[in-house]
Each structure stands twice: as C-alpha cells, then as structure tokens.
C-alpha cells in the first residue's frame, strides 16, 4: 500500500476562499490514508494551491512553485499545482516549469487523491499533466472531508462559488466559473458540525455573498436567500458570531438588512467593496449601480443597524480615472467615514475589459493616489478607535500575543480575522476561544488595547 505511506506537504496562497479549498484537499489526503508533513524536505509530494487575482499574487505563486520545485532534487517525487493560477495559465506553467507533474484547475482539486502517489516523474504517470475544466463547476457540501487550518475557534464557510457579475477589471468569473450556491440546509449542517468542534465564529464567504441563491431561482420566494440563511444559522448551537464577507452594494434588500439588524449572532460588521464612487468610474468598471445607490445604502445601514461597523475597498488608477474623479472619491472617503477601508492600485488583468481601455493612469500617479487615500482613511480609523477608549467591548480571545508573553490577543466584532487589526488584552488570563468583556484603554490606527479588569 504505497499510497498509504505518502507524505504530503501543502502550501496555501491567496484568500480565505482558497484556504477552504486547501482544507478540503487536506481532508481528501487524510481520507485516502496519506499523511501530512510540516516541511517540504520531508515530503514525497508537494502541493501548491495558487492565487492569480492581481500581479503580486501571481508573482508570489510562481515564486513559490519555483521554490518548491527545488525539493524534487531531494525526497519529493511529485509537484502538484492547483488553484487560480493553474486554472488560468495551465499550459504556460506546464511548458515553463517542467518540474510540475500535475496541474489541477480551481474546480478540479477534488482529483487531488488520484495524483498523490509518489512516482518518478510524469513520464511514468498515466495521468495527464494538465487537468483543468474549462468552466469550473464544483462546489463542496457538508459531507466533504475537511481538515481546518488556523485557529480552532474560527472557521470560514463558503456558501457559494463563482460569480456572474461583469465587472470590467475582474478575472474571477473566468477563474471560478458561474455562481453556484449551496442549499441552506447543507450550510446549516456544516456550521452545526463546526459548532460541535468548538468553533465560535463562522465567517461566510463567497465571490458575491449578497447574490447568494440568485442562481437557484428568479425570485426570493422560489430560492434560498442570504437573509433566510442568516436566520437559520442564528439557531445553531455553539456558534456565537456569524460574520459576512464580500457583500455587493446593489444586492442589499430590506429583508437582508432586517436579518442583520435583528439576529443576535450576526455580527454588525459589513464588508462591502465599493471600488469607487464616481459615476463615470462605476460605469467604466461595469459595477451596475450608481453613486446614489452607494450613498443611500450607507445611510440605510447606519440608520437601521445599531453600532454597525462598515468596511470597504477601493481601486485607484483604473484606466480613465481623472483627477476630478479621484478627488470625488477622496471627498466620499472623508465624508462617509467607513470604519475600515483598503485601497489598491489598479492591476492590469489580461482578458478583462479594463485591460483594453484607453487612458491608462501612470503607475506613479496611481501609487500617489493610493497613499493619499489611505492617509485619509488612517485618520478616520484612528479617530474611530480613540472614541472607543473607556468603553466595554466583547473580545474573542485568539491566544497569547506575539508582542509580549504578558498580553493576550483577540478581536472584537469590528475586527475580522486576517483583515483588520487586533485587540491586545492585559490584566488577566483566559482560555483561547473565550468570549470576554474588556475595557478599551488605548487606541492606535488599527489596533486596540483593553483590560480584563472592568
């Protein structure tokens, strides 16, 4: 049983959605009887789950593949590459990096168990090097074996895969395929099992969370909705926080807002990537809504959801962005005062509409715009945090702080894992995964300090 003794090393790159895919592959590895190792020089097979969202992510993925390829000079007999880079550039990877034995697309990673058995390279393998489905169609269910990585008290749950939106700058629909949503009962079953495993925070993720279920019917009466999913998850024992990521401004309806506002377990944290505010830029980006829709939504969320924390992202330097349009964006950032925001310079994605647009913005100009926007946001974030000093907050404890053995580290509901800052806890010790009350004592741009002594 050679396959049962295979030692597998995984590298997972990119976003939380990629992390879920890696965890599913890890589950298949263990279910097939293979073992996982913590170092590439101990592995028979190395698997790299790649990202290809922007240029920096693609560079990191290629660099990692080349780094892992060096271990084939030692014990490793196979190198497997999967994920978004594999989906997009399979033929180029096979040609330019011959050390790769198998390339699996973003929807083909369930085949991982078939390619794990160590061999002496692809010449002796009966399986093709490139195994990439042109239109990704896979979506996992609650029965899929999965080995979670990271903190035991928080987990990501992918409620849908793929995207049907035509945003001009985005390659994701080509990498991940059309949207396909899981059934509410299936998601609830997964979350219920996570709760029994000690998970206290569930992070719902998808390429387009607010259009969850739209692919299953033409009206809310005939399909699952995000609002009804939130209500169902609110009844799951053991789960304390249900957090949403990657919502879309034009897909918010009153029922969803009501569910967020009324469900105690749904944290009042909304991650809604806006990308821009100028009507001209929104049209070039093919976002499908106007500036007015955005402004009305922000107003409505703040009026109807008590203590809501809003997070967003912007793209600057997109083709055609004028000085006046950027100034309009800066004014919106200063006026709207989102609690959290990130700004990214436009990255050319071949195969997208934006890549063919004229009036490119000089990269140095784009970089200067990004820095200016983030300085505006830094001041807002700092003021938001300073206003919290002296207040009591509920904190999910992550464990001992890397800053000091005398501090614990955690997050209040306004801090999402791996995205926002953290809360440093002093004056006490409590178990990891605990939800505790603490009093904010200090504030910085992105982090808080709090005392367990109330």
Can you give the residue ranges of every domain in the chain? 2-131, 154-386, 392-451
d(CA 238, CA 200): 6
User: What does DSSP assign to residue 182?
Assistant: P
The DSSP secondary structure of 385-428, one letter per residue, reads HHTTTT-EEEEEEEEE-SS-TT-EEEEETTS-TTTS--EEEES-
Bridge partners of residue 395, in order along the sequence: 412, 436
Q: What phi, psi does 260 have (nearest 5°)?
A: -65, -45
Bridge partners of residue 409, in order along the sequence: 399, 424
Which sign, positive or negative, has the C-alpha torsion 431, 432, 437, 443? positive
> Is 3.80.30.20 the CATH number for 154-386?
yes
d(CA 10, CA 418): 20
Per-residue confidence in pLDDT tens, the chain, 454 aa = 344 568 999 999 999 999 999 999 999 999 999 999 999 999 999 999 999 888 888 999 999 999 999 999 888 999 999 999 999 999 999 999 999 999 999 999 988 988 886 554 444 556 789 999 999 999 999 999 999 998 999 999 999 999 999 999 999 999 999 999 999 999 999 999 999 999 999 999 999 999 999 998 767 778 999 999 999 999 999 999 999 999 999 889 999 999 999 999 999 999 999 999 999 999 999 999 999 999 999 999 999 999 999 999 999 999 999 999 999 999 999 999 999 999 999 999 999 999 999 999 999 999 999 999 999 999 999 999 999 999 999 999 999 998 888 899 999 999 999 999 999 999 999 999 999 999 999 999 999 999 999 8
d(CA 136, CA 108): 8
User: What does DSSP assign to residue 72?
Assistant: G
Pairing type for strands 160-161 and 180-181 reads antiparallel
Fold of 392-451: OB fold (Dihydrolipoamide Acetyltransferase, E2P) (2.40.50)
d(CA 275, CA 314): 4
d(CA 377, CA 383): 10
At 275 the three-state DSSP class reads strand
Per CATH, the number for 2-131 is 3.40.50.12160
What is the pTM assigned to this prediction?
0.94
Cβ 242 vs Cβ 290: under 8 Å? no
């Amino acid at each position: 049983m050679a396959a049962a003794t295979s030692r597998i090393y995984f590298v997972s790159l990119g976003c939380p959605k990629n992390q879920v895919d890696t965890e599913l592959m890890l589950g298949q590895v263990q279910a097939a009887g293979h073992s996982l190792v913590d170092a590439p020089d101990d592995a028979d097979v190395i698997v790299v789950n790649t990202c290809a969202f922007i240029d920096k992510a693609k560079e990191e993925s290629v660099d990692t593949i080349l780094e892992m390829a060096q271990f084939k000079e030692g014990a490793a007999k196979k190198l497997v590459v999967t994920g978004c880079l594999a989906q997009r550039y399979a033929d180029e990877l096979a040609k330019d990096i011959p050390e790769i034995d198998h390339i699996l697309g973003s929807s083909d990673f369930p085949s991982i168990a078939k390619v794990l058995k160590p061999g002496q390279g692809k010449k002796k393998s009966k399986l093709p090097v490139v195994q990439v489905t042109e239109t990704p169609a896979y979506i996992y269910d609650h029965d899929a074996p999965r080995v979670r990585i990271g903190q035991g008290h928080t987990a990501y749950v992918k409620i849908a895969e793929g995207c049907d939106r035509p945003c001009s700058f985005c390659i994701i629909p080509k990498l991940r395929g059309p949207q396909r949503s899981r059934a509410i009962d299936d998601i609830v079953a997964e979350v219920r099992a996570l709760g029994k495993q000690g998970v206290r925070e569930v992070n719902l993720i998808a390429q387009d969370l607010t259009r969850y279920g739209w692919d299953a019917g033409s009206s809310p009466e005939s399909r699952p909705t995000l609002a009804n999913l939130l209500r169902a998850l609110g009844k799951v024992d053991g789960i304390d926080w249900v957090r949403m990521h990657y919502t879309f401004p034009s897909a918010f309806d009153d029922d969803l807002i009501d569910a967020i506002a009324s469900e105690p377990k749904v944290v009042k944290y909304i991650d809604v990537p806006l990308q821009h505010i100028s009507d001209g830029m929104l049209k070039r980006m093919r976002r499908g809504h106007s500036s007015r829709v955005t402004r009305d939504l922000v107003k409505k969320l703040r009026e109807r959801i008590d203590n809501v924390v809003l997070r967003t992202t912007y793209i600057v330097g997109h083709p055609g962005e004028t000085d006046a349009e950027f100034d309009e964006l800066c004014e919106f950032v200063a006026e709207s005062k989102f609690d959290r925001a990130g700004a990214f310079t436009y990255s050319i994605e071949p195969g997208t509409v934006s890549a063919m647009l004229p009036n490119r913005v000089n990269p140095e100009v784009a970089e200067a715009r990004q820095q200016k926007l983030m300085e505006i946001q830094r001041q807002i974030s700092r003021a938001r945090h300073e206003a919290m000093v002296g207040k009591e907050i509920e904190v999910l404890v992550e464990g001992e702080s890397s800053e000091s053995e005398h501090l614990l580290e955690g997050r209040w509901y306004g801090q999402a894992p791996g995205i926002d800052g953290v809360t440093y806890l002093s004056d006490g010790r409590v178990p990891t995964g605990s939800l505790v009350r603490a009093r904010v004592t200090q504030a910085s741009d992105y982090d808080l300090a709090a005392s367990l002594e109330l």
